[in-house]
Amino acid sequence: MSPSQITIRPYADQDWDAIARIHDAARLDELRDSAGVEAFLTLAQTAEGEGLFDGRLWVAELDGAVTGFVALDDDEVTWLYVDPGRYRQGVGRALLRHALAQAGPRVEVTVLEGNPAALALYLSEGFTITQTRTGPLVGNEAFTATGHIMHLDKAATSA
């Protein structure tokens, strides 16, 4: 898919059902090879506690349907999920680039170990792993996960 076919717009209340469905499907993929699917909690269970609405939130539309979403809180990409039926179609990259355009000069994201597709996306956009940490899984602290803290220094990538 061409990024020009993907529309990014601010989240609206009527998008809730779509982003909940997307999160719940994609989160299982994210957890499968990291903390395990036993750690799964729905978006309805985690959105408030994990600050989904603390910063700015955008959705991607393709063919009139919401296909993904991204949240940026200060200069941290805190959420980025794509409908599994739309993986590898440029939706995640378009969402990430949109968020990066709104962020300051140094952007942070954490990627769970065992999520090679997300890791590859961020690396391809210029992020580097600055720390790897194992500890309680954010949002479901009864489980342990390893996360790669990654940073993008926008000035260094545009030079």
Q: How far apart are CA 110 and CA 29, in angstroms?
A: 16
Q: How far apart are CA 33 and CA 65, in angstroms?
A: 28
pTM, whole model, 2 decimals?
0.93
Quick one: tokens of 159? 């030079």
So what's the pLDDT on residue 139? 84
pLDDT tens digit string along 96-131?
A: 999 999 999 999 999 999 999 999 999 999 999 999
CATH number of the domain where residue 113 is located: 3.40.630.30
Scanning 14-153, the segments in alpha helix (DSSP H) are 16-32, 43-46, 91-102, 116-124
Domain count, the chain: 1
pLDDT tens digit string along 69-96?
A: 999 999 999 999 999 999 999 999 999 9
Residue 64, classed as helix, strand or coil, is coil
So what's the pLDDT on residue 158? 59
So what's the pLDDT on residue 1? 45
Give me the domain span that covers residue 75.
3-158
Contact 102, 58 (CB under 8 A): no
Percent helix, strand and coil across the chain, each to the nearest 5: 35, 35, 25
